[in-house]
Structure 1
């Protein structure tokens, strides 16, 4: 996947464009936008007891600049994005479409904490006809993306 400029992202809208405008933080924190949080399970991490162990990786691992992007799904809880071997100023992003057409209506992101090289997002509810996808974004550019599932 080719790198997209901030101008292209801003013109296209979506989570990555908003992320590019967020200040860098010493401690990772989730960010969200659109109508994220409108559906059950959103705002929870995939490690909560009712979801733990129900996720499976869907699609292949995507790679960019030595980093890895993975998409996980649970038919009980929804989905989340995970990045691994990441450098600083990168984030895992999960975009969710509430009508199944593959256009982001809500999104959540998580940046890499200092001292570690991975991050994962909170759950996105892509159950009941909704779809979602994972993105790896660094320094305001989308470096890798999965398909919509």
Structure 2
């Protein structure tokens, strides 16, 4: 093995190590009743479904113009995403526990915005079979900045 090959291998190893060391780490969280239905506990890209943007809301927090997006699939359920958000914001997806059209109890799944990136998205919430879901942008010490309608 020549010096060029060794140099390339070492360079590849170092750059790969740095990529893993500096990659943002997701920080998902959820209520005790989540996951409970099919596809819950999985990120949207780990399901066989295609999601469509159903609702979008804009909000301002600490000088950042943040977009909250709510995506839906009739086969898997829904997920929420925030873009252009500071690191002390979180995105939530609430999912009702029953098919009651007037939600009174729900579970949630959420994700924090990690340092070095400005977005976050949740795992899937199964709002099929009459259950409903909604998305929320929460910043600071728990301030709900904006929220979508139940869907």
TM-score, normalised relative to structure 2: 0.75
Between Structure 1 and Structure 2, which shows a larger proportion of helix residues? 2
The 1-side partners of 2:82 and 2:59 are apart by: 10
Q: Indicate the residue corresponding to 2:38 in structure 1.
A: 40
Residues 1:69 and 2:68 aligned together: yes
**Structure label with greater radius of gyration:** 2
Contact 2:56 2:67 in 1 (8 A): no
Q: Indicate the residue corresponding to 1:138 in structure 2.
A: 139
Contact 1:67 1:86 in 2 (8 A): yes
Q: Deviations over 1:99-142 (max 9, x none)?
A: 23323421001001221100000000000100000000011111
Residues 96 and 60 (structure 1 numbering): CA distance in 2 closer, same or farther, change over 3 Å? same
Q: Indicate the residue corresponding to 1:60 in structure 2.
A: 56
Higher-RCO chain (CA-CA 8 Å, sequence separation at least 6): 1
Matched positions, count: 122
The 1-side partners of 2:111 and 2:59 are apart by: 18
**Structure 1 unaligned residues grouped into runs of 5+:** 1-25
